[in-house]
Copies of this chain bind each other. A is one copy, B any other.
Amino acid sequence: MPAIFDPQSIAIIGASGNETKIGGRPIRYLRMAGYKGHVYPINPTRDEVQGLSAYASLSAVEGSVDLAIVAVPAAQVADAIQACADKGVKAAIIFSAGFSEVGDEGRALQDRIVSIARKGNVRLLGPNCMGAINTGNGAIATFSSGIVDRTPDRGRISLASQSGAIGAHCYVLANARNLGINKWVTAGNQCDLEVSDFLLHMASDPDTDVILCCIEGVNDGRKLTRALDVARANRKPVVVMKLGTSEAGAQAAQSHTASLGGSDAVFDAVLKQYGAYRAKTLDEMFDIAYACLQGGLPTNSSIGIVTVSGGGGIMMADAASELGLDVTPLEPAVQTALREIVPFAGTRNPVDVTAEIISRHELLYPMFELLAEKGGYGSVLTFLSHLGRNPAIIEALKPDLLRIAQVYGKDRALFLSLLYTDAVRADLEEMGFIVFEDPSRAVRAAAALTHFGRSFANQGAAIEPESHTLRAEARANLAPDRSYSEVEARDILAGIGLPFPAQSLATSAEEAAEYAAKIGFPVVMKIVSPDIPHKSEIGGVILDVRDGPATSQAFDTLLDRARAAAPNASLDGVAISPMLSGGTETILGVTCDPAFGPVVMFGLGGIFTEVFKDVSFRLAPFNRAVALSMIDETTGAAILCGARGQPRADIDALADALVTLSIFADQNRALLSSIDINPFKVFEAGKGAAGLDALIITSSGAGHSAPALHTDTPEKETAWRPAPKF
């Protein structure tokens, strides 16, 4: 990474004297930015390029070369990388297109380059990428056409983007919004270094305060989560924009890149679990980046609202509630005190200071003071409507606003929403306010800052110490490519402590009656056969069997049905278990996401899952707090908490089961393909829970272990193909 962002010397292979060409632009940009290192244009046909001495080849350069920019046609790239390897170049940025993104031939070429680079210890960025920028030292290693007459402004936002075009759009947008960039990188085909590698770097970079990320998907989810973990530990907000969330978008993404990336719901859960914030629009991404830089992170999710207009207060309270912020009312005594200042003020929160402050600006401070001192709000948002465009009024208010910022800006995020002139905005920002014209955007930014504030205060999902014993025991001796029958799956899962009621396997009608009597009536009886995974479909389950004779009869019936439906099935017998009534049916599951590995799913049964998709996901393993949050996240959780007149369910038992399942999934990730515990009945509080059915499926084991850190991911493609002629 130092070679990409902090090279002491840069060679441009395919350097052009034409400043508008792909091999000419970086030279122009490096000089424009005042890059202090050596710049070596490599061009066999010229002595001089843009006023610099040119070299016929990399080997002709006398000094060492940290970074090579490769801007030659695809067919010449392999030779260029070989030259880099021979010269001891640390990293190469390959602008050239025509690799994995254009099909098998390109992919083969790309594989060859990777192999040369590995042998020669050269790290690669690209191919088919737009390069990297470090505004701190002027290392502008890009050919982006977004640079016109000056290189990007310096700031404390760093950005890693898979797509070069989106990356370029972002730095131009950032600069247009007066936000500076620190480090910037686009990863293109990601044949070696990928977006997550750069996120990890930025997470520890002292010059980066906020990290932005635009991706379509990831191949190695653990690399991403590691980067997010480090960023969280270092209190650096990460804002992620994921492209390809809809079917139409994903279709376009497939033609744009061939990322695997897993399901969007899993990706969303991962970001939540690792404290990153997912922006839905570019505007939102930069709003949040701006707010993170401009203000402190709130320590709690309650928001105080001060407004010169009742309507504005309502609007912001609506937006805050929708985004999960608490618009906590002020105590009655505080409200009384507020009314002593302005008798007609709204005082509950929002506090409507009314247009009185236009003529009597001295009323603002004491009202703000009461709200801030007494309300305990993590953020305070003040709405001044159009007053920022009325010079006389805003000038009169400025001393009061400055005092507010000085006194209350230290341990609160202070937002101002008003229509402004550029000069007014600059003054207010100088005071320390986070300033937005649109009140709803201000609230949205407050919600994001609160997300980070809470996430940084609550680090990680590390499992509890008491779970470590479990961890050791949870590794099961699973065989590859198998579907474990209910009886086997129950045994395995009950063995690590998941609650499954006793079950006996009867091989005769007599045995059945005997076991049932031992278990206690009523019982449930199910056919057991490795060849009949879907028992209910053939009538292979009989519920509510109430006595001995009925048990024997049911045994025969089940065998008859099984033989009729699947004459060649091998039958193990009939499983007998107690008939449990009551409780709420939930579903616990595990899937293995191609990018992130084992993911635990929770949902309520039936239509909750099937029609409303009311399920939550978390990466395994996790602790109790995470389990509770994933229960809480579902709408159906209301039922477990006692909606519809039901007693409150045993959420503790449910959370324990999710934690145990997550540890099991983690410990068996090498072979695990999926687990279903459906239904998993949760009884009323104190009465536990019980799995009533279970299925474990394993895979061949290929691709499920953690990949090595330096991997080749040749399936990445991006369709942004720089026109060879620019």
Which residues does A use to contact B, with CB under 8 Å?
97, 101-102, 145-146, 148, 161-163, 165-166, 168-169, 172-173, 176, 214, 216, 241, 243-253, 255-257, 280-283, 308-315, 317-322, 327, 329, 344-350, 352, 354-356, 358-360, 385-387, 389-391, 393, 419, 437-441, 606-608, 610-612, 614, 635-636, 638-639, 643-644, 718-723, 725-726
Q: A243-B315, A350-B252 are contacts. A441–B281 as well, Cβ < 8 Å?
A: yes
**Chain B CB within 10 A, most for which of A97, A166, A255, A327:** A255
- A309–B172 touching, CB < 8 Å: no
- A255–B145 touching, CB < 8 Å: no
Instruction: Determine which of B248, B322, B387 lies in contact with A246 in the assembled complex, contact meaning CB atoms within 8 Å.
Output: B322
Set of chain B residues within 8 Å of A386, measured between Cβ atoms: 145-146, 168-169, 172-173
Shortest Cβ distance from A569 into chain B, in angstroms?
Answer: 23
- A312–B359 touching, CB < 8 Å: no
CB nearest neighbor in B for A172: B386
CB nearest neighbor in B for A280: B440
Q: A165-B311, A248-B317, A249-B314 are contacts. A440–B148 as well, Cβ < 8 Å?
A: no
Interchain Cβ contacts under 8 Å between A and B, 7 examples: A173-B386, A243-B315, A245-B318, A255-B347, A281-B440, A344-B719, A611-B644
Shortest Cβ distance from A95 into chain B, in angstroms?
Answer: 12
Q: A280-B440, A311-B256 are contacts. A355–B721 as well, Cβ < 8 Å?
A: yes
- B166–A312 touching, CB < 8 Å: yes
Q: A252-B317, A315-B249, A723-B359 are contacts. A163–B309 as well, Cβ < 8 Å?
A: yes
Q: A314-B216, A322-B246, A611-B638 are contacts. A391–B148 as well, Cβ < 8 Å?
A: yes
- A176–B419 touching, CB < 8 Å: yes
Cα–Cα, bound, A250→B311 (Å): 11
Instruction: Determine which of B249, B350, B610 lies in contact with A318 in the assembled complex, contact meaning CB atoms within 8 Å.
Output: B249
- A389–B148 touching, CB < 8 Å: yes
CB nearest neighbor in B for A392: B148
Q: Top 6 closest A-B pairs, CB basis? A: A165-B309, A246-B321, A163-B311, A256-B310, A248-B327, A249-B318
Set of chain B residues within 8 Å of A315, measured between Cβ atoms: 166, 241, 243, 249, 282
How many chain copies? 2
CB nearest neighbor in B for A214: B311
A145-B390, A249-B321, A256-B310 given; name 4 further pairs at CB < 8 Å.
A145-B358, A146-B386, A355-B726, A611-B636
Cα–Cα, bound, A721→B245 (Å): 47
Cα–Cα, bound, A553→B430 (Å): 84
Set of chain B residues within 8 Å of A725, measured between Cβ atoms: 359-360
Shortest Cβ distance from A450 into chain B, in angstroms?
Answer: 15
Instruction: Determine which of B320, B346, B360, B720 lies in contact with A723 in the assembled complex, contact meaning CB atoms within 8 Å.
Output: B360
Cα–Cα, bound, A55→B353 (Å): 36
Shortest Cβ distance from A165 into chain B, in angstroms?
Answer: 3
Cα–Cα, bound, A620→B721 (Å): 57
Set of chain B residues within 8 Å of A176, measured between Cβ atoms: 389, 419
Cα–Cα, bound, A393→B723 (Å): 14
Shortest Cβ distance from A12 into chain B, in angstroms?
Answer: 20
Set of chain B residues within 8 Å of A311, measured between Cβ atoms: 161-163, 165-166, 214, 216, 243, 256, 720
Cα–Cα, bound, A643→B262 (Å): 25
Shortest Cβ distance from A310 into chain B, in angstroms?
Answer: 4
Set of chain B residues within 8 Å of A309, measured between Cβ atoms: 163, 165-166, 169, 720
